[in-house]
């Protein structure tokens, strides 16, 4: 219990009062295969993609559980979504010292012992040390390698292409440069603007990220068998 108390105080777990978080560590006496895989979801904003993962994880037959949501924005709605689902939340705002933030994010996630980290609208670039240490996937609103970066939907419209889409990929040391895991196209309609196109992409994105997580987790279990 003492270790859990230090952990919660250092990383500001919003769900901990007097430290009742006994579930973060994995007991060495419990077989890894007997448990659902452990997901850490990272998000910065509204959390609609995170909500899709939360809803899936609540299903008994889904092979993973969300052990925490990590967020860099103290007022982000994703924190409300997680708290409503009784998922612990960790807030790590970016301050003036980027190295300190990188270290804090790393320590927070490491303490949660995840099998997979899911970037679901997390708007910060993770350090090379982080992406080298953890298995991290990200969803991006374009058909990578086309239109990387934070303005993918607007860039697709500006380019005049007839379709864009959604990509789920492994996160590496670059920006949207990791190996593609899954993609699904979305047609661009003549009257589309950034808002309408992005909303249609999000509908596809929610389903694709959930199905991809499930496939990755099941594949990891086969590898560990």
| Residue-by-residue DSSP string for 66-109 | EEEEEES-TT-HHHHHHHHTT--EEE----S-HHHHHHHHHHHH
Beta strands at 89-91 and 116-119: parallel, antiparallel or unpaired: unpaired
Per DSSP, the three-state class of 166 is: strand
In 3D space, the residue among 24, 75, 74, 76 whose CA is nearest the CA of residue 49 turns out to be: 76
The catalytic site residues sit at: 140
Beta strands in the chain (DSSP E): 37-43, 64-71, 89-91, 116-119, 136-140, 163-170, 180-187
**How far is Cα 51 from Cα 4, in angstroms, rounded to an integer?**
27
Q: How many helices (H) and strands (E) does the chain have?
A: 7, 7
**How far is Cα 13 from Cα 39, in angstroms, rounded to an integer?**
16
């Amino acid at each position: 219990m003492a270790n859990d108390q230090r952990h919660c105080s250092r990383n500001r777990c919003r769900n901990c009062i007097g430290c009742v978080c006994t579930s973060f560590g994995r007991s060495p006496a419990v077989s890894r295969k007997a448990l659902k895989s452990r997901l850490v979801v990272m998000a910065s904003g509204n959390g609609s993609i995170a909500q899709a993962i939360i809803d899936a994880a609540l299903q008994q037959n889904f092979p993973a559980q969300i052990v925490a949501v990590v967020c860099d924005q103290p007022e982000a709605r994703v924190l409300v979504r997680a708290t409503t689902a009784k998922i612990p939340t960790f807030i790590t705002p970016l301050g003036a010292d980027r190295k300190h933030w990188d270290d804090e994010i790393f320590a927070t996630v490491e303490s949660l012992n995840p099998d997979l980290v899911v970037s679901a609208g997390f708007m910060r670039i993770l350090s090379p040390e982080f992406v080298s240490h953890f298995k991290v996937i990200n969803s991006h609103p374009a058909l990578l390698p086309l239109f990387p970066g934070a303005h993918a939907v607007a860039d697709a419209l500006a380019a005049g292409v007839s379709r864009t889409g959604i990509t789920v990929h492994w996160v590496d040391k670059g920006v949207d440069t990791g190996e593609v895991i899954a993609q699904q196209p979305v047609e661009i309609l003549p009257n589309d603007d950034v808002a309408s196109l992005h909303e249609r992409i999000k509908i596809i994105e929610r389903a694709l990220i959930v199905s991809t997580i499930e496939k990755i987790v099941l594949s990891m279990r086969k590898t560990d068998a």
